[in-house]
Amino acid sequence: TNLTEGLGSSIAALDNSVFGLLANNKLVAWRMEDLEVGNSWDFGGGAALDPVRSGSHVFVVDSNNQLWCLDDQQQLLWKAPLENVPPVGPPIECRQGLCIATRTGSVVTLNPETGEQLSVADLALPISSGPVLWKNRLLVVGDDGAVYNLSQP
């Protein structure tokens, strides 16, 4: 299978599966062993965030700002709304769960098993990138160009 044919995003790989968004807005999973197409999902208006790996899952954000969590068996485990706010970077694993920064200045922590929101840290200013894990802290970059050091949830 030619993975670049019709591919409209970057790809993210787990041990047994690779995920990518096709140009026709279909999220597709391939089996790593033979690159045969497995499961696929209609992704409507495209992605706000291309597929990324974090830990043992792949995450992707659709155009409705729903965070999707997929596993190595090509199963959709859950979807979680990001309250109509686009993320500014990929989610990362943090001490209490999965952390994702939003454009409006929040770092949201989700339960990685269910997508349930556990906490929200509000920076009260727009975030342009992050979060990045540093020691026991989270770093994000504000629109003002400053790096903000937040305690890890």
Q: What is the pLDDT along the chain (153 residues), one digit of tens a residue?
A: 455 457 777 889 999 999 998 878 889 999 988 888 899 998 877 788 889 898 899 999 888 888 999 999 999 999 998 875 788 988 888 888 899 999 899 999 999 889 999 999 888 899 999 899 998 899 999 999 999 998 876
| Total residue count of the chain as it appears in this document | 153
Asked if residues 68 and 79 have their Cβ atoms less than 8 Å apart, the reply is yes
* CA separation for the pair 32, 23 (Å, rounded): 21
Asked if 50 and 86 touch (Cβ cutoff 8 Å), the reply is no
